[in-house]
Amino acid sequence: MVHNAVAVSAPGKVLLAGGYLCLDRTYTALVFGLDARIHVVVRPIPTRRGVELSEIEVTSPQFQEAAWNYGYRLGGSGSGMSVTQLRMDADLHVNRNVFIETTLGYALSYISAITSPTITPASITILADNDYYSTPAAPAATSTQPRFRDFGVKLRKAHKTGLGSSAALVTAITAAVLSYYLPSKLFDLDSDRSKRIIHNLAQAAHCAAQGKVGSGFDVASAVYGSCLYRRFSPTILSKSADPGTSGFSKSLRELVEELPPHGQWNTEIHRDAVKVPKGLRLLMCDVSGGSETPGMVKKVLAWRQENPAEANEIWSDLHAANDSLAKELRAMAEAQDFGLERLRSCFTRIRRGIKIMSEKSGVPIEPAEQTELINACEAVPGVIGGVVPGAGGYDAISLLIEDREETVAALQKLFDGWNVKSEHSGKVSILGVRQDMQGVRVEQVDQYQEWLPPTSP
């Protein structure tokens, strides 16, 4: 059976409010999808008559040496589909990509659990919108730059801008592989049920690839777009069998489709709770520095465990401030009432809570350098407020601004002359991304034609 080519994209994200708090189900997170997307195209591999292949080729042509070949085999005892990276040359170093490999294994195992699988050889091409990475080889952003530029480096050497590339990648591969191999009666990306399947399957695969159970807000926004998010209980994933073990595929299906004994996921995703008033936009700014997010999270959680009363009081106050921001944005969007001072007070309150948490935990969530930078930005006419998004640190800032060219130009002038005073932070650059309310979606294959490598028989 020859399947038709499919293309799917999933958005990046910014956790505008709810960093650290989103790890606890008591609190919610305000997550915005971004119009920077990861695109995945799946096509058949032509084969010669009488030749059978069990192979999936994966390429990411924007990076050097970004090609992976996988063999797949259906295991016995319901152990699912095993996916193994193939060495094309005995002397060639195996360059693993655990996110691709794990996601393929989970997606194909789920397919094998719900239907008699016809897994034919396929070619998968991954393309990232330009704002996901900034590299020394990358040209300055211009109106004439290619849609998908060649970053000129190996993938592991590319500097990420923190837009959630791994979650968007896992989501897009999951959706594309299911769309490619499953008939529409079993899977239709536009249906609510299928989006729920993508969400649950991508969450499971992403956690497995990371080696830990995260909050999941990044996968949720990749599937559903901008939303108010409350995490799932980590124990949900602990009930599933391990990949490659007896009964894995059946267990995975029960997990993904919320069947007994697993039952429903308790994730809460409220898309209608997030809106942006007309005339305002989010602006993402990359700071070419560096922060070890996992280390920061561990330290904050250790502080909270040692000082529960103090930490819970701070988190409750910060949650109230985050909630106020979401409600104010929605109220303004629905009434078109520009109460900008109310919005500014929300940002002030959030930053105050973050600074207190920084000081108490000893973790640079909003370090002094970022405080100085955001203060300077908020003094620019047209800037409503700013925060260090997600886990914070030195990597980025997010601004809510009036959607006017002169505001962006004034910020660019500020950044051009910004005096970097720390070894942790470097040049500040504006990313060309905006908020995006839409999550994972089907794309037209033809638009990617010039970036698709030839398929080999």
Q: What DSSP string runs through 21-34?
A: GGGSTTS-EEEEEE
Dihedral angle over CA of 311, 315, 318, 323, nearest 10: -170
Does any domain span residue 456?
no
146 and 260 inside one domain: yes
- Identify the CA nearest to 284 among candidates 214, 377, 346, 209: 377
Q: What is the pLDDT of residues 3-41, one digit of tens each?
A: 899 999 999 999 999 999 999 999 999 999 999 999 999
56/217 Cα distance (integer angstroms):
29
Q: Are the C-beta atoms of residues 60 and 227 closer than 8 Å to each other? A: no
Phi then psi dihedrals of residue 135, to 5 deg: -130, 160
Q: Confidence class of residue 137 from pLDDT cuts 50, 70 and 90?
A: very low
Q: What residues contact residue 397 under an 8 Å CB cut-off, 6+ apart?
A: 285, 287, 370, 373, 374, 377, 386, 387, 388, 389, 428
186 and 284 inside one domain: no
194/88 Cα distance (integer angstroms):
36
Average of per-residue pLDDT values in the chain: 91
Does any domain span residue 312?
yes
CATH number where 292 lies:
3.30.70.890
199 and 292 inside one domain: no
Whether the predicted pLDDT of 144 surpasses 80: no
Does any domain span residue 378?
yes
Whether the predicted pLDDT of 251 surpasses 90: yes
Whether the predicted pLDDT of 51 surpasses 80: no
Structurally, how many domains does the chain consist of?
Answer: 2
Does any domain span residue 424?
yes
- Burial class of 157 by CB neighbour count within 10 A (0 to 12, 13 to 18, 19+): middle
99 and 121 inside one domain: yes
Q: What is the pLDDT of residues 378-422, one digit of tens each?
A: 999 999 999 999 999 988 899 999 999 999 999 999 999 886 666
181 and 93 inside one domain: yes
Q: Are the C-beta atoms of residues 322 and 21 closer than 8 Å to each other? A: yes
The distance in angstroms from the start CA to the end CA of the chain is 16
229/231 Cα distance (integer angstroms):
6
Q: How big is the chain, counted in residues?
A: 457
CATH number where 210 lies:
3.30.230.10
Q: Are the C-beta atoms of residues 377 and 399 closer than 8 Å to each other? A: yes
CA 54 to chain centre: 30
Does any domain span residue 242?
yes
Residue 182's domain comprises 6-271+442-451
Q: Are the C-beta atoms of residues 448 and 126 closer than 8 Å to each other? A: no
166 and 262 inside one domain: yes
Does any domain span residue 165?
yes
221 and 346 inside one domain: no
Does any domain span residue 128?
yes
Does any domain span residue 457?
no
Q: What residues contact residue 28 under an 8 Å CB cut-off, 6+ apart?
A: 18, 21, 22, 228, 229, 230, 268, 319, 322, 323
What number of CA atoms fall less than 13 Å from residue 322's CA on the CB side? 26
pTM to 2 decimal places? 0.94
92 and 226 inside one domain: yes
308 and 242 inside one domain: no
What is the reported pLDDT for 417? 86
The residue written with tokens 């350098």 in the block is 369
310 and 199 inside one domain: no
297 and 405 inside one domain: yes
What is the reported pLDDT for 139? 46
What number of CA atoms fall less than 13 Å from residue 22's CA on the CB side? 29
Whether the predicted pLDDT of 114 surpasses 70: yes
Q: Where are the alpha helices (DSSP H) in 19-164?
A: 98-114
311 and 421 inside one domain: yes
